[in-house]
Structure 1
Amino acid sequence: MTTTQAFRFALDPNDAQLAGLRRHAGAARFVYNWGLGFVKAALAQRDAEQSYGLAGDALTVVPWTLPALRLRWNQVKNDVAPWWGECSKEAFSAGLDQLARALKNFSDSKNGKRGGRRVGFPRFKKRGKARDSFRYTTGAYGPAGDLHVRLPRIGRVKVHEPMGALTGRLAEGRGRLLGATGSRTAGRWFVSFTVQAEREVPEAPSPRQRAGGPVGVDAGVKHLAVLSTGEQVDNPKPLARSQRKLRKASRAYSRSKPGSAGRRQRAARLGKIHAHVANQRRDGLNKLTTRLATNHDVVVVEDLHVAGMVRNRRLARAVADTGMAEIRRQLDYKTRWYGSRLHIANRWYPSSKTCSGCGWRNPSLTLSDRTFHCQSCHLVIDRDTNAAVNLRNLVAASTSETHNARGADHKTPLAGPVAVKREPGTAAAGQTRGAPPQGEAA
């Protein structure tokens, strides 16, 4: 199986190399702003020409693609940036590529070719506000042993941990470098290698996976996930546990003098706390999804509308702290890596309101009801466990193929009409896209 995989490592640069990393990130930001200013000037010139009645070939050509922007940059770079030779040409190419992608996303969104939220026109990047990053796609970049990476015009930079997982693939011919991205997060620099890797995927599930069998996963807020096996995975709630530190650091930052050294120190402290929260959440989600993909042959999750759920101000912080969408994203590729399958249940399937024993539905079930009581077979079961069991039963009940590709999600047909009465925060099956529906929060 050929797949595109990223390997990310933390860098340990010396002072000269740190200055080079900052210089390359600044070069990418500079050329992005230069290109955006040139595009806006061309658009203004064309609007003025149209007001005078000009049309067709007489109008100013607006550079909108990467080749056009790169051609114009090569014509004027000696005048606008005489220092450009101090940085790799790849840093400038990366900045122009970011601008070309932003312009394309804007035009596609405006013309209806791009789904999702409306994309606005690109804005200028400000140092200290925008993310510092640059990218190599050509040149002599890549690992230089297990503890160093080679970055053009920067040098041989040490990394914090051995890169055996990457260097072993490259040495055996099971991987090919496609690019390298240098970026800064909370004061630390990282390098991420994009690799076209060959992975050995088992044709049939391993005995360990067969022992696990299908599993339904009900993502929630109180618990990170409730499995159909009865296991309840605790939610570490990294953001909630760090709220006190975040409030203290935020107050100190807001009270500092703009432009002072103390403000920069407090900003670094605040960014470090946010990065620690993100790392804790990422670690928990990776452990959970890896265990599900390796221990079970089929994993069933719901198609939750997380973007709609976070619009509920009472649930927004708790939902964002769990990373529900990240669970599905990771399961999407990990099930393919380990030979298992991912089944996506329909967003409108009433998993919480349906009895997992006999199929009776309780249309009056609310979010405050944490225990499901069946009036038909008198089953009493935890609400989330009941939902997870219903998700697992979909695999046996469905006659359609189970997919594990995100672009071919299986929409599970409902056995009957959706209940008229809805839970708070949810929407009816016939609701239009203009009023985004919401999935169950817990």
Structure 2
Amino acid sequence: MERAAATPSRPEAVVGVDLGVKTLAVYSDGRPPTANPRYLAAASRKLRRLSRAVSRKQGPDRRSGQQPSGRWRKADAARNRVHHRVAALRRDAIHKLTTTLAGECGTLVVEDLHVAGMVRNRRLARAISDAGFGEIRRQLAYKTEWKGGRLVVAGRWFASSKTCSGCGAVKAKLALSERTYTCTACGLIVDRDLNAALNLASLVKQTVAGSGPETPNGRGADRKTPPAGAGGWETSTPHRAPPGSDGDLRPAMDGSLRNTETQ
């Protein structure tokens, strides 16, 4: 589909967007943060009631070939309608958020969140999944391109929350329960999420002033290979040296194998 060339209303604006569970999005340009609607949490009580009603009916059984009863089908349809409504509300809210950001800001900066690893925490998995971090980033990736802006994704190991946005000092540890960032070096006291958003915006300004913007790949993330290239064959190939190569393979910190000739 061909789209007409567009330009954001503020093409020079660089806005850092910090995503979180307590507050869905906090911005570095001072606009009011976007609250987390928590649609799944709001519907959890109704879903529990409908799930209990489904469990009391005669459901399908693959082992015996038993067919579900009419009342089970009716109760299951009522439960599915709630799930579909939650998904539709979440999708609508994310589309409105990403469309507004992409149409207004010339450069948006987000973090490369490891959502698959974050949901392994059983205490936060449901809240993280309900927020839709991955969908927000996916929509920003193509909507910024449609609107004539760009999306910059900070590195996964960039300490946006631990770094002071005033002096640049980095804390060794910062508990998740600490919602206010207090710098021991310069005495700055600022909201934790706002501090992370300011650091994201300043990271892009430093990149633009330095060696230039990151190169986005197919899914909107920044290129993680060094400027000189990957140097040889990638780590996803079979774990043995190619024929005629004397390269030594050693286990990396993440459990994969890397070629020491290229390091």
Aligned twin of 2:228: none
Distance 1:431 1:384, change over 3 A: farther
The verdict on how the C-alpha distance between 1:290 and 1:403 changes in structure 2, with shifts beyond 3 A counting, is: farther
Q: Is the helix fraction higher in 1 or 2? A: 1
1:270 is aligned to 2:92: no
Query: How large is the Cα RMSD of the aligned pairs?
Result: 1.8
Tell me how far apart the structure 2 counterparts of residues 263 and 384 of structure 1 sit (CA, whole Å): 46
Q: Does 2:50 match 1:252?
A: no
Is residue 21 of structure 2 the alignment partner of residue 221 of structure 1?
Answer: yes
Give the equivalent residue in structure 1 for 2:221.
409
Letter aligned with residue 255 of structure 1: R
Which secondary structure does the structure 2 equivalent of 1:286 belong to? helix
**What's the TM-score once normalised by structure 2's chain length?**
0.79
Confirm whether residue 234 of structure 1 aligns to residue 35 of structure 2: yes
* Contact 2:15-2:29 within 8 A present in 1 as well: yes
- Alignment match, 2:110: 301
TM-score, normalised on structure 1?
A: 0.47
Structure 2 unaligned blocks of 5 or more: 60-67, 226-251, 257-263
CA distance in structure 1 between the partners assigned to 2:218 and 2:190 by the alignment: 32
**Quick one: distance in 1 between partners of 2:223 and 2:184?**
29
* Equivalent residues of 1:341, 1:402 under 8 A apart: no
CA displacement at 1:409 relative to structure 2: 2.6
Aligned to 1:351: 160
In structure 2, the residue corresponding to 1:298 is in which secondary structure? strand
Question: Could you tell me how far apart the structure 1 residues matched to 2:86 and 2:255 are?
Answer: 33
Quote the residue 1:432 is aligned against.
254
Deviation at 1:408, TM superposition (A): 6.2
User: 1:406 Cα shift?
Assistant: 3.6
Is the 1:237–1:322 contact (alpha carbons within 8 Å) kept by the matching residues of 2? Answer: yes
Q: How do residues 35-434 of structure 1 correspond to structure 2 at under 5 angstroms?
A: 197-202=1-6, 205-206=7-8, 208-210=9-11, 213-230=13-30, 231-258=32-59, 259-398=68-207, 399-407=211-219, 409-410=221-222, 431-432=253-254
- Where structure 1 has 5 or more consecutive residues not aligned to the other structure, the ranges are 1-196, 414-429, 435-442
Q: Secondary structure at the match of 1:256?
A: coil
Q: What secondary structure, in the 3-state scheme, does the structure 2 residue paired with 1:224 have?
A: strand
Per the alignment, do residues 326 and 408 of structure 1 end up closer, same or farther by CA in structure 2, a change over 3 Å counting?
closer
- State the partner residue of 1:156: none
Between the aligned partners of 2:190 and 2:27, the Cα distance in structure 1 is 13
Query: Any idea what the Cα deviations from partners look like across 1:15-54, whole Å, max 9, x if unmatched?
Result: xxxxxxxxxxxxxxxxxxxxxxxxxxxxxxxxxxxxxxxx
Quote the Cα distance in structure 2 between the aligned partners of 1:349 and 1:391.
Answer: 9
**Alpha-carbon shift at residue 401 of structure 1 (Å):** 2.1
Answer yes or no: is the 8 Å Cα contact 1:345–1:411 preserved in 2: no
Render the CA deviation track for 1:154-199: whole Å, top value 9, x for unaligned. xxxxxxxxxxxxxxxxxxxxxxxxxxxxxxxxxxxxxxxxxxx101
1:162 alignment counterpart: none
State whether residues 18 and 111 of structure 2, in contact with CA within 8 Å, keep that contact through their aligned partners in structure 1.
Answer: yes
How many residues in Structure 1 have an aligned counterpart in Structure 2?
218
Q: Which has the higher contact order (CA 8 A, sep 6+)?
A: 2
Q: Which moved further from structure 2: 224-233 or 258-267?
A: 224-233
Distance 1:411 1:352, change over 3 A: farther
Query: How far apart are the structure 2 equivalents of 1:296 and 1:276?
Result: 30
Shift of the 291–276 alpha-carbon distance from structure 1 to 2, 3 Å rule, reads: same
Checking the alignment, whether the CA contact within 8 Å between 2:179 and 2:192 is kept in structure 1 is yes
In terms of Rg, which structure is larger? 1
Deviation of 1:431 (Å) = 4.5
Tell me how far 1:400 sits from its aligned partner. Answer: 2.7
- 8 Å CA contact 1:352, 1:384 repeated in 2: yes
User: Partners in 2 of 1:277 and 1:244 — Cα distance?
Assistant: 13
Matched residues, percent identical? 49
